[in-house]
Amino acid sequence: MKLYATIGAGLVIAAATVVTAQTTPGDAIKAQCAKAATVAEFWHGFTSASQQNVLNALAVEFNKTAGDACVLPIPQGNYSELSTKLKASFAAGKVPAMAQAFENNIAQYLEADKVANLGSLGVRTQYLQKRFVEAATFNGVLYGVPFNKSVQVMYYNKDLLKKFNAPVPGTLEEFAKVARDVSAKAGAPVFWFQPSSSTYAAIFLSLGGKYETAGKLKLNTDTGVKALQWLMDLVAAKAAKPITSGFINGQLSDTYGFSFDTSAGLPFYKSAAKFNLGVLPLVGAKRGVPGTALIQGTNVVIFKDANAAQEKVAAKFLNFSLQARNSAIFATQTGYVPSSDLASETPEFKSFIEKTPEYAAVIKQARFSDYEPRISDWEAIRFNILETQIKEAIAGKKTAKDALDTAQKQAEDLLAGRTK
Ligand code: FGO
């Protein structure tokens, strides 16, 4: 991976100094934890080897400082599988010390009274991005820290635009026009998208949409209909292609033109693209003002049911991870937004941004970004309800309005306890 070769030096190479050349950071952790008196499990939703290596290398470095304790990252499948397994662990009474959690997951785990107050465990937030910290704070209590938070950005194929003499679009309206023109000339849809709640949110938020008004969830707003229609029109014009399985970055070809995707995809896009890759903030309603990205990626929570020694190690690990240098290395190796405000002052960050100017789009986009609702049923709503309806509309089975009206009705039924 290009990104690793250039900037991966920090943690990955550092890890290699404690182990032999053939072993991975994961092997090193096993050795560290085998002799530890306290093992703090960290359940996570990273499925790719590269992200797992970055996380494991961080744990290796921490473990070297942790005396007779260790942090043991354990992959649990993707994010949804992770939250399912965590809920099963609550029921079985075998919870890990810590885990990744979206804001809505925190709300749900709080209802089950499972998450620990991080402030009282000594987790410090003084130099962390305020918005991220606020999003993991409920009723004034900190329950999570931003660990790997992403924003969506616009990835594009510079060569394709050049080939057809097309401009880089500056607004959503221009984007639609350029996508149509280039697709017509290329003979294939050039805007690739996952028909998901995430892609929909990029357009919806960029058009000024809000999921909640006065604390009430509203999925079928006029802006929502407009956002879905915008996407449906591009599909109908053969300018947009739904990617229905797998990551877009795993399928890039020379007819790929554009996508709106998580910044955590940056290392994957960079290593997969056989063309000149462009990365810019999302397009919005007005030229010169970026669109509004969806904030994704997760926080880390500590569980109450872990024992006191494990909780203490977990809290120490979070403070370690969020130090400026470690935050900078983690973020730049993965494409996530640095959690620490001080990360950008570090030499690691500065040298990375020089070699990888695309990452500037991620940093800029972070100022133009928003969250999905922090309600405990949101995971079910975003996947089982909203996304199902988005897919129906994209497949031409429903109008945008019918799809979002159905989503609203189903969400209300779920929230009122009429359905599960
Ligand atoms: C993913 C998911 C949620 C929720 C949003 C929620 C649950 C979305 C979206 C559904 O950390 P992010 O930015 O990116 C992910 C990261 C770890 O896997 O790396 C990205 N990745 C991995 C491999 C690859 O080849 N390319 C690549 O980009 C991966 O997307 O999180 C974005 C994608 C989704 O998982 O399909 O967050 N999401 N809100 N998931 N369960 N609950 O509330």
Angle at 125 between CA 342 and CA 213, to 5 degrees: 105
CA atoms of 358 and 128, how far apart (whole Å): 23
**C-beta of 268 in contact with ligand 1 (< 6 A):** yes
Residue with CA nearest ligand 1 atom 14? 264
Taking only the tens of pLDDT, the chain with its 420 residues reads: 333 333 343 444 444 444 445 689 999 999 999 999 999 999 999 999 999 999 999 999 999 999 999 999 999 999 999 999 999 999 999 999 999 999 999 999 999 999 999 999 999 999 999 999 999 999 999 999 999 999 999 999 999 999 999 999 999 999 999 999 999 999 999 999 999 999 999 999 999 999 999 999 999 999 999 999 999 999 999 999 999 999 999 999 999 999 999 999 999 999 999 999 999 999 999 999 999 999 999 999 999 999 999 999 999 999 999 999 999 999 999 999 999 999 999 999 999 999 999 999 999 999 999 999 999 999 999 999 999 999 999 999 999 999 999 999 999 999 999 998
- Give residue 296 CA to ligand 1 midpoint distance, Å: 7
Tokens of 77: 């499948």
pLDDT at 5: 36
Which of 43, 52, 79, 204 has most ligand 1 atoms within 8 Å of CB, for mutation? Answer: 79
pLDDT at 108: 98
Ligand 1 atom with the smallest distance to the CA of 103 is: 43
**C-beta of 103 in contact with ligand 1 (< 6 A):** no
Helices within 42-120 (DSSP H only)? 49-63, 79-92, 103-111
- Give residue 289 CA to ligand 1 midpoint distance, Å: 25
CA atoms of 96 and 90, how far apart (whole Å): 9
CB atoms within 10 A of CB 222: 11
pLDDT at 18: 46
Domains of the chain, first to last: 11-148+297-367 (3.40.190.10), 152-294+377-415 (3.40.190.10)
**C-beta of 122 in contact with ligand 1 (< 6 A):** no
Residue with CA nearest ligand 1 atom 42? 379
pLDDT at 20: 47
pLDDT tens readout for residues 62-89: 999 999 999 999 999 999 999 999 999 9
Q: 228: closest CA among 215, 214, 242?
A: 242
DSSP line for 288-333: TS---EEEEEEEEEEBTTS-HHHHHHHHHHHHHHTSHHHHHHHHHH
Ligand 1 atom with the smallest distance to the CA of 298 is: 11
- Give residue 364 CA to ligand 1 midpoint distance, Å: 20
- Give residue 100 CA to ligand 1 midpoint distance, Å: 12
Angle at 320 between CA 323 and CA 264, to 5 degrees: 70
Angle at 371 between CA 260 and CA 128, to 5 degrees: 105
Residue with CA nearest ligand 1 atom 8? 198
Ligand 1 atom with the smallest distance to the CA of 83 is: 41
- Give residue 314 CA to ligand 1 midpoint distance, Å: 24
- Give residue 282 CA to ligand 1 midpoint distance, Å: 18
- Give residue 221 CA to ligand 1 midpoint distance, Å: 25
**C-beta of 371 in contact with ligand 1 (< 6 A):** no
pLDDT at 21: 55
**C-beta of 79 in contact with ligand 1 (< 6 A):** yes
**C-beta of 384 in contact with ligand 1 (< 6 A):** no
**C-beta of 297 in contact with ligand 1 (< 6 A):** yes
**C-beta of 311 in contact with ligand 1 (< 6 A):** no
3-state SS string for 187-241: CCCCEEECCCHHHHHHHHHHCCCCCEECCEECCCCHHHHHHHHHHHHHHHCCCEE
- Give residue 264 CA to ligand 1 midpoint distance, Å: 8
pLDDT at 362: 98
- Give residue 57 CA to ligand 1 midpoint distance, Å: 21
Residue with CA nearest ligand 1 atom 33? 198
- Give residue 19 CA to ligand 1 midpoint distance, Å: 31
Burial of 274 (0-12, 13-18, 19+ CB in 10 A): exposed
pLDDT tens readout for residues 379-404: 999 999 999 999 999 999 999 999 99
Characterize the bridge pairing of strands 369-370 and 293-302.
Answer: parallel
Q: 136: closest CA among 155, 154, 123?
A: 123
CB atoms within 10 A of CB 81: 13
- The C-alpha torsion from 197 through 202 and 205 to 208, rounded to 10°, is -130
Tokens of 248: 């877009």
